Chains A and B, each alone.
Chain A
Amino acid sequence: NAGVMQNPRHLVRRRGQEARLRCSPMKGHSHVYWYRQLPEEGLKFMVYLQKENIIDESGMPKERFSAEFPKEGPSILRIQQVVRGDSAAYFCASSSDRGSGNTIYFGEGSWLTVV
């Protein structure tokens, strides 16, 4: 499967724990995006990364959320001290270029439930 791979598909965390979501972009893609789908709110941009660089994090909450895309390995979206309001589907997407005119392909999503 050469598509965008996300894991885990489903994750349950207690309030105060940490959640780590992983994303391997499509083969040949070096641009990664994270989007969040909250109930009743639709999909919202969180962050855009290239290898080892955060390019645009204008959609990331200022606290508890961080993202990285190391030189080797998948991109990680990390949520510290999770709260119930973090329960959502988190989608990773990738593109072969900066996004301008390039198709952005999404993974299957990671569903986080905070109990």
Chain B
Amino acid sequence: AQKVTQAQTEISVVEKEDVTLDCVYETRDTTYYLFWYKQPPSGELVFLIRRNSFDEQNEISGRYSWNFQKSTSSFNFTITASQVVDSAVYFCALMAYSGAGSYQLTFGKGTKLSVIP
């Protein structure tokens, strides 16, 4: 069975601070994919990044960066110089074979980030 844990339920930071959102996953599959999605107050789910289990290179996209460590089963997300528009719920998700004919996304419970001006 797959499991994703986002231990931080809510985080508040002051604008321009850096913040790291933690994600720990569990799977027995050797091939899997990790995702981050953002859910702003308007409710839609916005895709941020996808990584596969064979690629442990860290990735940077503007103020966003992701640190994938297979040894600790973690896929953490850092926002540098946070802005008020970053306020949202962030979901980490794991895609692996479900055993029922498809690859399913298993989501963590999300971390609510509030950036205070």
Mark A residues whose CB is within 8 Å of B: 33, 35, 41-45, 48, 55-56, 58-59, 89, 91, 93, 98-101, 103-109, 111
> Are B43 and A109 neighbours in the complex by a CB distance under 8 Å?
yes
Given contacts A56-B98, A58-B100, contact A35 B105 (CB under 8 A): yes
Partner of B107, one of A43, A56, A99: A43
Number of A-B contacts (CB under 8 A): 70
* A58-B98, A106-B47 known; A98 vs B108 contact (CB < 8 Å): no
B100 touches A56 (CB 8 A): yes
Q: Among B37, B45, B102, which residue has its beta carbon within 8 angstroms of that of A48?
A: B102
* Known interface pairs A35-B105, A43-B91, A101-B52; A108-B33 also in contact (CB < 8 Å): no
Cβ-defined contact, B101 with A56, below 8 A = yes
Interface of B is mostly: strand
Can you name 24 A-B residue pairings with CB atoms under 8 Å?
Answer: A35-B105, A42-B108, A42-B109, A42-B110, A45-B105, A48-B102, A55-B101, A55-B102, A56-B102, A58-B98, A58-B100, A89-B43, A98-B102, A100-B31, A104-B105, A105-B47, A106-B44, A106-B46, A106-B47, A107-B44, A108-B43, A108-B44, A109-B44, A109-B45
